[in-house]
A and B are shown apart, each in its own frame.
Chain A
Amino acid sequence: MKGGATLLWLALIGATAFGMFQLKLAVQRSETRLAELDRELRASRQAIEVLEAEWAYLNRPERLAKLAERHLALRPMTPEQVGGLDRLPLVASMGVAR
């Protein structure tokens, strides 16, 4: 009877130790992954910041104006070119879906 109890306790201790180590390893793996993801996140964010700076640099108004002048047949808008829907003539006869 006494020997049985001892065996039971020993088995419990063994099981607990095994479980603990498994858990510890799992946590370690998760932690490594977390650190990795954090690093990736930081790197991506840095990359985004750099790309945003480049985007702003490439979108400098004076550069866009020069490029538009060279490649497009567009000009700065004049007041006459701004209007609302209410200024459009009605084309009721054509039955255009609104």
Chain B
Amino acid sequence: MTGGRLDRRPLDGEEHLAVDGRVSLDGTAARALHVGRARLVLMGALFALAYVVVGVRLVDVSLFNDGFEPRIAQAADPRSTPFGRRAIVDRNGVLLATNLPTASLHADPTKVPDPRATAAALARVLPGLDRATIAARLASGRRFVWIKRILTPRQQLAVNRLGLPGLAFQQEQRRVYPLGRLTGHVVGFVDIDNSGIAGIEKTFDAALRSATPVSDGPIRLSIDSRVQYLVRDELAAAMREFRAIGAAGLVLDANDGEVLAMVSLPDFDPNASDADPAARFNRATLGTYEMGSTFKVFTTAMALDAGVVTLRDGYDASKPLHVARFIIRDYSPEKRWLSVPEILIYSSNIGAAKMALDVGAVRQRDYLARFGLLRRAAIELPEVAQPLLPSPWREINTMTIGFGHGIAVSPLQLTAGVAAVVNGGIFNPPTLIARESDLDAGGARVISARTSARMRRLMERVVAEGTGRKAAVAGYLIGGKTGTADKPGRGGYQRRAIISSFVAAFPIAAPRYVVFAMLDEPKGTKKTYNFATGGWTAAPLVGRIIARLGPMMGLPPERAPAPAEPGGRVIAAALKGGGGVAF
């Protein structure tokens, strides 16, 4: 307490001058100041951080990212179709289905100054438009009325030229099929909303809709529109000649199963929405028929392949065969012992039935299954029929199936099976989509190459000396087999209604094509001495198809031309033919 310096306690909130001259605070004031300073620093740090964030983002946006602008300008993909649904083309790129932009005319009646004059002007340029109805519609006072759906470009131009107020166009697409009825059954058609409801249009509906730039080319079919045309042309002519109620024709690539032509008559125009339902029926895939004698090709092939018979063996066909309550007869009986080749050449039911019996039901089923005859054809169409098989598969069924009765298959199945018989023994599932190469056919062996070679020779003899003589073509060696079957009717077979068919392979030495033609209920003519069987109706039809198909495909004639009827159509055409143009 002594020493002259008053040592007193500082009062609260009192300022002191420190040694360095700064004011130092104590107590409450000092604390408050500390808090304030700490807050300032914190705020400053936050602001600094915010600025740093903004700065970084600025650099990021301006230097590293370029916002929503794409770095590289992209041109629209040249392959992408402008309007949705993809096109369908044939194997040569001919358009089978495409879209057309069409305009539909509508109006806003509130903006139409003179409904009567407008209606009169429209009726002048749009034929089929009723002036009074349109005038009434335009005077209705509504905001939207249709005038006419789907105009032609010319009509659209004419309406535009009128320059009338209140009218407007709406762009719509319409699926069109330039070749019309030629490919109606194959390509199918779409409904009003452009979704496929038949044929390829239905099978590939999803793929046709997705217009992704990557997979955007058209769908390429295996169909060749030229071949399609010639088959249809000849079928239609034969149908008229023999007054048949229907016809079907197929051309298959023998070595990879591609369908070059698939025709079913009567046919329909897919561009017209009101086609006859009966005409829409595809006989080539949806129809199943008892094919008759063409099945003897399979019977002979399996018997030879299984080693049940050799070409020197034979069967007694001198009298009809009685099995249970059935009698198996020959159509034109030879009434003698027939060798295996003769059974095929003269088309003996008795011989084929006996041969089938020797093959046995189990092996017969196995072979038929591998020829693709017991399951629905794996073709890319929704209209495919299930074959009709006997159940149970008795001995009598084995015998009748030996000559093509008691089993009903589609023409496509039969043709694909015959292709397997002649092409070296490989069954390729038929397809309507163009294959990139023969290698991806994915076939399975059914009979040996040796059996196939023997079958080719036998089928050649059917045309050279047997029931298929009328199929002979000047210039090409072909092999084939006729088929005639009574159509099943109510309570048994009908006498007068038959299915006549012919299936051929050519050039028979190394087949490239298998051709099938079928006439439904043909009637004989004077020229055919009232015969309507396969040999008289379908065989010459197939011959005519081959005579046109061979040159079109650039197949040179073979050295030894098959004998043709003198004065026949083929020879006559050859003599008259000057230049060449292939249709």
Shortest Cβ distance from residue B55 to the other chain A in the assembled complex, whole angstroms: 16
Residues in B neighbouring A87, C-beta threshold 8 A? 556
**Which chain B residues border A61 with CB–CB below 8 Å?**
179, 182, 225-226, 229-230, 583
List the A residue with the shortest CB-CB distance to B474: A79
A37 to B74, CA, bound (A): 11
Q: Is A29 among interface residues, defined by CB-CB distance under 8 A? A: no
Decide: A64 and B100 in contact? CB cutoff 8 A.
no
CA distance A73 to B554 in the complex (A): 21
Dominant SS among interface residues on chain A? helix
Q: In the bound complex, do residue B578 and residue A77 qualify as a contact, i.e. CB atoms below 8 Å apart?
A: no
Structural contact, B557 and A80, CB atoms closer than 8 A: yes
Instruction: Decide yes or no whether B11 CB sits under 8 A from chain A.
Output: no
Residue of A nearest to B558 (CB): A79
Q: Which residues from B are CB-within-8-Å of A81?
A: 551, 574, 577, 580
A8 within 8 A of B: no
- Tell me the B191-206 residues at the A interface (CB within 8 Å): none
How many A-B contacts at CB < 8 Å in the complex? 132
> B439 an interface residue at 8 Å Cβ cutoff?
no
A12 to B100, CA, bound (A): 58
A80:B582 contact, CB within 8 angstroms: no
Q: Verify B580–A42 contact, CB threshold 8 A.
A: no
Interfacial chain A residues near B75, Cβ < 8 Å: 37-38, 41
> Do B475 and A52 have beta carbons less than 8 Å apart?
no
Residue among B95, B180, B233 with the highest chain A CB neighbour number at 10 A: B95
Interface size for chain A: under 10, 10 to 19, 20 to 34, or 35 or more residues? 35 or more
Indicate if the CB atoms of A79 and B547 lie closer than 8 Å.
yes
Q: Are A77 and B551 in contact (CB under 8 A)?
A: yes
How far is it, in angstroms, between the C-alpha of A60 and the C-alpha of B182 when the chains are bound?
Answer: 9
Q: Is A59 an interface residue (CB 8 A)?
A: yes
Judging by beta carbons under 8 Å apart, are B578 and A75 in contact? yes
Establish whether residues A50 and B229, one from each chain, have CB atoms under 8 Å apart when the complex forms: no
Binding site for B on A (CB under 8 A): 27, 30, 34, 37-38, 41-42, 45-46, 49-50, 52-57, 59-62, 64-65, 68, 72-84, 87
Cβ-closest 7 pairs across A and B: A79-B475, A61-B229, A56-B178, A77-B580, A77-B551, A56-B95, A74-B581
Q: Could you show 6 A-B contacts with beta carbons less than 8 Å apart?
A: A38-B76, A49-B81, A53-B95, A53-B176, A62-B182, A80-B577
Apart from A60-B179, A74-B580, list 13 A-B contacts with CB within 8 A. A30-B73, A42-B82, A49-B82, A53-B95, A55-B95, A61-B225, A65-B229, A73-B578, A78-B475, A78-B574, A79-B555, A79-B557, A83-B557
